[in-house]
Amino acid sequence: MSPRVVRTVAGARRLRREAREAGRRVAFVPTMGALHEGHLALVRRARALGDEVWVSIFVNPTQFGPGEDYDRYPRDLEGDTRLLEREGVATVFAPAEREMYPEPPAVTVGFGGLEDVLCGASRPGHFAGVGLVVLKLFHIVEPDVAVFGQKDAQQAVLIRRLVADLDLPVRIEVAPTVREGDGLAMSSRNRYLGPEERAAAPALYRALQAGRRAVASGETGPAAVEAAMRAVLAAEPRLGVEYAACVDPRSLQPPAGIAGPVLLAVAARLGGARLIDNVLASPDGVHPETLSDLDRAGGFR
């Protein structure tokens, strides 16, 4: 059965009321469309957690900076909806920009500095825009559970913080990164890569693996782990490395010494694309896949 595609806030609220009255738990996957296997893995995780899956498709202008790829970001609602149909998605919420922002919003969301490090350092305003749109989507969809990808680790950390600090009545689940055969993390932006760039891209994941090996072999200094990652990235001259970081998965600051799980994260420009990737690394060599796995292992919060 084809998903119901709703374009308005009022329409989404109406469908949500029906689901509630039928006692159906809604699991929600917010996306910007241009769906790939990574998104579909989030949808499958959502299907396991709720009675019906809702997916939003909205290229949110407030999270793009000037000079970023808002205009050329790939949009294909029909193709996306076909993919979601195969996954048994109940509802696709695909509002127009005017529906989400009928006037410029006055309200802003901050994260006490968590939004200024890692990707936030080179994308000022990005996470404020993410926080705003996620709050709006949560208030419209009112999901019981929402699934985010580990791929966007900083986003996941911030959303979890948003939910905790604001007492949002939603459970957040972070699902594993899906990778190509050579390790490249799936991303809608991979389609910006030319063939030679595509061949160079797996260096990000190789760098993260080098970082994991350093942590598992007993390295306790975050700077040394970062150096191990940078050495791998430096071997690939096409990469314009933005950061290679070893940080606490909660504060996003480098730990004084590595005594438990850390987040290893990298970002680099490659041709016309900006690529990011990350893994969690544990000194005991049992590396959690996601922030949610870390929770369940009792290692976090």
Which residues of the shown chain bind its own copies in the complex (CB under 8 A)? 9, 13, 20, 105-114, 131-132, 135-136, 139-140, 142, 161-162, 165-169
Task: Give the strand pairing for 4-6 and 91-93.
Answer: parallel
Task: Give the strand pairing for 273-281 and 262-270.
Answer: antiparallel
| Cα distance between the two ends of the chain | 40
- Counting Cβ atoms within 10 Å, is residue 149 exposed (0-12), middle (13-18) or buried (19+)? buried
User: Given the complex with its own copies, which of 107 and 259 has the nearer CB atom?
Assistant: 107
Bridge partners, residue 52, by sequence: 26
User: Given the complex with its own copies, which of 126 and 274 has the nearer CB atom?
Assistant: 126
Q: How many CA atoms lie within 13 A of 157 on its CB side?
A: 28
User: Given the complex with its own copies, which of 63 and 177 has the nearer CB atom?
Assistant: 63
User: CA torsion 172→260→212→181, rounded to 10°?
Assistant: -20
Pairwise CA distance, residues 254 & 199, whole Å: 31
H/E stretch holding 183: none
Q: Position 34: which residue type? A: A
- The residue count of the chain comes to 301
User: In the annotation, is 39 catalytic?
Assistant: yes
Q: 60: helix, coil or strand?
A: coil
User: Given the complex with its own copies, which of 84 and 114 has the nearer CB atom?
Assistant: 114
Pairwise CA distance, residues 157 & 166, whole Å: 14
User: Given the complex with its own copies, which of 6 and 275 has the nearer CB atom?
Assistant: 6
Pairwise CA distance, residues 247 & 211, whole Å: 12
Active-site amino acid positions: 39
